[in-house]
Amino acid sequence: MTDYPTNPEAVRDFLSGLEYSDAPVDAAELPPPLRAEDTVTVTTSLRIPLELHQRVKKAAEQRNVTMSALIRDWIELELAALENDQPISRADALRALAALHPLRQSA
């Protein structure tokens, strides 16, 4: 693994050692192409209230996962639900629930 510079002098030395060219790169020098199973991830900044952050952090700790992993899982679950669902209005949902008969209690 390459050691990257950690101070201004080392950065200058590192940069001065780089060579730039418009010449085509030999195919043998190219990195291998991404495979289908390779996952490219991106960093997304998200602003949430402190209380919500604390609740998510606690939920992640209880599941022994990182907050990022938990949030990714929740996003995937919600997107799957949305893709397989036919959204209805809140008013329609409330009407449908109001029309249901309550469960009968056994004596």
CA 94 to chain centre: 33
Whether the pTM exceeds 0.85: the reply is no
Q: What is the pLDDT of residues 11-65, one digit of tens each?
A: 998 888 888 888 888 888 888 887 877 788 889 999 999 999 999 999 999 999 9
Phi, psi of 87 (to 5 degrees): -60, 145
Residue-averaged pLDDT of the chain: 86
20, 30, 31, 33, 43 from 40: Cα distances, Å: 27, 18, 15, 12, 10
Token duo for residue 102 = 């309550």
Say what the pLDDT of residue 47 is: 95
> Which has the closest alpha carbon to 56: 45, 69, 44, 43?
69
